[in-house]
Structure 1
Amino acid sequence: MTQNIDFVYDFCSPNAFLAHKTLPELSARYDVKFTYVPVLLPIVFKATHNQSPFQAFSENRQKTAYLTHDLHRFARRRGLSFHMSPHFPMNTKFAMRGAHFARGKSWESKYISAVFDAIWVHGQKVDEIAVLIDILQENELPVRKIREAMSDPDVKQNLKDQTKANVRRGVFGVPSLFVGPEMFFGKNSLPNVEVELLSSNGV
């Protein structure tokens, strides 16, 4: 029986992008399905009194230089295309509303990959609606429906509620992965996710 893992994310996180790129390999290796759970990271941070490490260590050049190096090293060792966004940090609320609207639809994966790549491969400024619309059109996604969802009050509220529900679940940042009740935070916890999967499969 295929096991389900929740992947809690926000497009604004480079670590979430890099973790996202590794999931297909894990899915194939362990026969697991990843359910993508969009949240609004600023709400998570506010609720948990947390902040981005780049913000927390903004005055520590050695630390921020290392954090950037670690992102590129992770990508390079896995053969992934990655560029630190020139617009980081960015507001991804419109893109995340689109992600929430996309849940369960046949084009959800296509939408997620298109937006993640737009930010962290192509350096596009997705906090501008016009840029997002271009991305949707280029990837042959349902532009009108997604555009309407981005300003839909119910979509806005549901995404906020979902974010708060995940904070109650223990989320304090992204990416966060749940294997059953066990939470794993950050791209560097992926080896521990594998250990958990092996354990749960009796290996």
Structure 2
Amino acid sequence: MSQAIDFIYDFCSPNAFLAHKILPELADRHDVEINLVPVLLATVFKATNNQSPFQAFSDIRQKSAYLTHDLHRFARRRGLSFHMSPHFPVNTKFAMRGAVYAKGKSWENKYVDALFDAIWVHGQKVDELGVLMDILQENELPVRKLREAMTSVEVKQQLKDQTKAAVRKGVFGVPTFFVGSEMFFGKNSLGNLELELSGPS
């Protein structure tokens, strides 16, 4: 595999969840790996003077309704289970620290799948450590080690550093993807990302 897709994500984003669900099939079609890059979206927003579309357009009833409709339509057309979280906006700082610790381990994808599903399929409140531990237990993940990581000063700093590095590369929200130096933002950019992987026309 000569190329890879860097997938910059935070579990708090419904668009990142939907992209996560369809990205593996796209990567398989082009025989490329996916490099998962966890960041803290709230920090990205603060650093770039950005905000979520639901917050930015909260006073525009029609647009807010459309954004929700678009999420459900995207999921429905692809046969994906999806529900808006009853706890939205979701605080994912502990979950994202766990993602940093999971990086490169044999169970990284299992962890990421479990946390995305917990929020956007099952509506669980992952900002509570007790709930998080139950999710880890149910998915046969290393509960004790992950709990330690989620409260670790070193892991917390690593997440901050990764987030700052993403912002320096031009990231202003998630999901964001890189193929080499080419950046693609949002789940609806995956068509252009696939064209990039296909090479010159």
Q: Hey, what does 2:188 align to over in structure 1?
A: 188
Which residues of 2 match residues 41-80 of structure 1 at below 5 A? Answer: 41-80=41-80
Specify every segment of 5 or more residues in structure 2 that has no aligned partner in the other structure, as ranges: none
SS at match of 1:5: strand
SS at match of 2:7: strand
Matched residue type, 2:146: I
Q: Hey, what does 1:35 align to over in structure 2?
A: 35
- Map Cα deviations across residues 19-78 of structure 1 (whole Å, 9 max, x no partner): 000011112111010000000000000000000000001111100000000000100110
Q: Identical aligned pairs, as a percentage? A: 77
Q: Hey, what does 1:21 align to over in structure 2?
A: 21
Find the aligned partners of 1:32 and 1:76 in 2 and give their Cα distance.
26
Find the aligned partners of 2:26 and 2:32 in 1 and give their Cα distance.
7
Q: Hey, what does 2:128 align to over in structure 1?
A: 128
Matched residue type, 2:100: H
SS at match of 1:37: strand
Q: Hey, what does 1:100 align to over in structure 2?
A: 100
SS at match of 1:171: coil
- Map Cα deviations across residues 179-201 of structure 1 (whole Å, 9 max, x no partner): 110000000000000110111xx
Find the aligned partners of 1:166 and 1:179 in 2 and give their Cα distance.
14
| TM-score (ref. length: structure 2) | 0.98
1:140 is displaced (CA, Å) by 0.2
1:2 is displaced (CA, Å) by 4.0
Find the aligned partners of 1:174 and 1:152 in 2 and give their Cα distance.
25
- Map Cα deviations across residues 113-145 of structure 1 (whole Å, 9 max, x no partner): 000000000000101111100000000000000
Matched residue type, 1:33: E
Matched residue type, 1:141: L
RMSD: 0.8
Q: 2:168 aligned with 1:168, yes or no?
A: yes
Specify every segment of 5 or more residues in structure 1 that has no aligned partner in the other structure, as ranges: none
| TM-score (ref. length: structure 1) | 0.98
